[in-house]
Amino acid sequence: QKEVEQNSGPLSVPEGAIASLNCTYSDRVSQSFFWYRQYSGKSPELIMSIYSNGDKEDGRFTAQLNKASQYVSLLIRDSQPSDSATYLCAVNPLGGDSGAGSYQLTFGKGTKLSVIP
Amino acid sequence: EAGVTQFPSHSVIEKGQTVTLRCDPISGHDNLYWYRRVMGKEIKFLLHFVKESKQDESGMPNNRFLAERTGGTYSTLKVQPAELEDSGVYFCASSQAGGGYTFGSGTRLTVV
């Protein structure tokens, strides 16, 4: 059974602080990793993807991947109240745009983030 | 560019009835996926189309669920007959290749 584990939270951080969201996964062959943001009652929105060990930065967001530890994290710098949402970690056994097979994603339950003004 | 469109946005049906959900993917996206989120649980994969072909339907819960994608454009997901445990939010997503998807806004299905 492939699993993706996230702390459900809620995680509360003050405005301007760094929010750190963590995710572990059980399927060692996983190659692609994604973070989605979901506002209440809305659809998941892709905010970051990462395929290689190390850090990947995009604006205020940094994704970190450690395949040996089967761990992926998302850092949000200078957190804003508008970042308050549920953050979903998702993994896939295939690499990036491999063009073959199923791109089935396994999701965690999500971590609810609350940024306090 | 129009996003992934799903309708209806909400559906309330009685146990034993039939419901059909529709998804229009982003134009040009060959890959179309159906996912479901049951209350309190994680989003779970149902199936994956590449154009009109079912690439992976390992997540379909049982034979009461039938998905089609005629002509490789829009897709429908029919539940017949619906049971109480089928209640949840059904998401459709599409992508050009692998990687991150674009999700639709979902259909909230309530079976009473």
Does B10 lie at the interface with A, CB-CB under 8 angstroms?
Answer: no
- Identify which of A4, A43, A110 has the shortest CB distance to residue B106: A43
Q: Which residues numbered 50-109 in A keep a CB inside 8 Å of some CB on B? A: 88, 92, 94-99, 101-109
Average pLDDT of chain B, as a whole number: 93
For A105, nearest residue in chain B (alpha carbons): B45
Residue A113 has pLDDT above 90, yes or no: yes
* 8 A C-beta contact, residue A9 and residue A111: yes
* 8 A C-beta contact, residue B11 and residue B72: no
For A87, nearest residue in chain B (alpha carbons): B42
Quick: pLDDT tens for A50-93: 999 999 999 999 999 999 999 999 999 999 999 999 999 999 87
Does A2 lie at the interface with B, CB-CB under 8 angstroms?
Answer: no
Quick: pLDDT tens for B65-95: 999 998 889 999 999 999 999 999 999 999 8
DSSP secondary structure letter of residue A70? T
Distance from chain centroid for Cα A56: 12
**pLDDT band at A99; cut points 50, 70, 90:** very low
